[in-house]
Amino acid sequence: MSRRVVIVGGVAGGASASTRLRRLDEEAEIIMFEKGEFISFANCGLPYYIGDIIKDKGDLIVQTPENMRERYNIDVRVNSEVTRIFPDKKMIEVHDIANNRVYTETYDKLILSTGAGPVKPKLPGIDSPRIFTLRNIPDTYKIKEFVDRTKPKRAIVIGAGFIGIEVAENLHERGVKVTIVELADHVIGPIDYDMAALVHQHLKSKGVEFYLEDAVKSFMDTDSCIIAELTSGRSIKADMAIIGIGVKPETKVAQSAGLKLGITGGILVDKFMRTSDPDIYAVGDAVEVTDFVSGAPALMPLAGPANKQGRIAANNICGMEESYDGTQGTSIVKVFDIAVAITGNNERTLKKNGIEYEKSFTHSSSHADYYPGALPMTIKLLFAKKDGKILGAQVIGYGGVDKRIDVIATAIRAGMTVFDLEKLELAYAPPYSSAKDPVNVAGYVASNILKNDCKVFHWDQVDKIDRSKSILIDVRTRREYNRGTIEGAVNIPLDELRKRLDEIPNDKDIYIFCHAGLRGYVAYRILVQKGYKKVWNLSGGYKTYRLATQKQANEDIYDYDKL
């Protein structure tokens, strides 16, 4: 007797589960319900259709109901919302939206792939037709049609996460003056403040206005525009606004069925993607996952993990036992000319979970400096103080960022340490890398810290240095020093250091810095071998310090009355 599997929701998790089921069981009856019109689409490509980068809206469709029926013999029912689940009867209630009728279906196994919906705060004026959210294809069409028809000059993007940043870039590329409003002290929440400083600088260079540690408290609709009132007291006029402050798991139908939720608010599942009901599985953005690094419960709405979870749920339904070992949050986003990539935990998550760690900053070139086109790349590595196990990384640069974050993501999944990064043999040719790849360099620097070959201090510790008991030495050239330095620093260029040792007191703490960290490291090694005991080198150098301590926001750059 064939099994009947019902899948609620498509896109990444539901679509991958259904096709995997069919490949494993040709006789199974598979029914997929999707409350919208589209079952499988390129969610991450939506902002680029608004920006005219993706020209044909058909390219956003990954699979159609017709293709799923023909190739996989799956009964796909769109515009059909599953409104209730009756676990004791193994039955669901379906609202056929197109025909406005309600009916029931039974199941042997049920997979929930209900996804996550955009957070839309209850603010005065939020229901204006000029205000949009972006989560699916209908949202995209609505925004694109509005932009094409009205030719807006001004737009407000509320929230600077992945979607907010991508929408801001694509509207900007279409000639719209964009203002970003972000409640946090930096954009792109999963990265740390000091790395976000690089993104802030790039946004400034592109003429994007953005406000940090601020929020919209109300909207007012007028005949000509909408006006956003911020908590800071500012008023911003715009032709449109897009809300991108995050998503929350869609759990209503699961809750009404009595399924347990986790502490994060997502559907609670075990390592086999089973819910609290053994015949109901859940996958994708709706579920609570285990953070692969910390082991803590987490919500990580990402397409890659959703696809894997769908496949694993199908395997388990078909008797091929397989577990999902957690999500490490590997992701990447394009911000105009740069790429911002993350894997593992950031500092905030490590502190929250009480994990002891050390960090390093390295500034390398994307490939060999002597080959044309080499561009800067910054890697922040987070690792365990005890054994050097890699806990997380953030990479920002112009080229080759995806390669480096993928190498480190693989290293985390394999339980590797910073000492292992030193030993990795990575592909090298001048157009692509250097003989010491940036990942190797990050490994060398982190290993030196743990082996006490170079003790470091960080940009956020500079102001805590007791200057009466210490000396701060800038080992860059005089020209670099004259262009800007840390207040109170003495300039002793690296190449003059050995000749000027008499200027460096042996009874004080010595804090060294250069531009990026390498010359400071060389100076450190000279001094400790000359008998100096209390020496530290600034990780990431003056570049990291300057970026992190400058004004971050880009405020009041537009005259709204003249736009």
Q: Which amino acids are annotated catalytic?
A: 44
* Cα–Cα distance, 154 to 135 (Å, whole number): 21
For residue 236, give the nearest of 120, 289, 158, 329 by alpha carbon.
158
What's CA 456's distance to the chain center, in Å?
A: 27
Q: Which residue type is seen at 239?
A: D
* Cα–Cα distance, 294 to 297 (Å, whole number): 9
Helix, strand, or coil here: 329?
coil
* Cα–Cα distance, 313 to 25 (Å, whole number): 13
For residue 349, give the nearest of 310, 280, 295 by alpha carbon.
295
* Cα–Cα distance, 461 to 456 (Å, whole number): 10
CA angle 61, 62, 66 (to 5 degrees): 85
Q: What is the dihedral of CA 163, 166, 172, 178, to 10 degrees?
A: 30
Which phi and psi (to 5°) does residue 82 adopt? -80, 115
Contact at 8 Å (CB) between 426 and 439?
Answer: yes
Contact at 8 Å (CB) between 210 and 556?
Answer: no
What's CA 254's distance to the chain center, in Å?
A: 27
End-to-end CA distance of the chain: 68
For residue 198, give the nearest of 480, 543, 446 by alpha carbon.
543
Helix, strand, or coil here: 399?
coil
Which phi and psi (to 5°) does residue 434 adopt? -125, 165
Helix, strand, or coil here: 198?
helix
What's CA 231's distance to the chain center, in Å?
A: 26
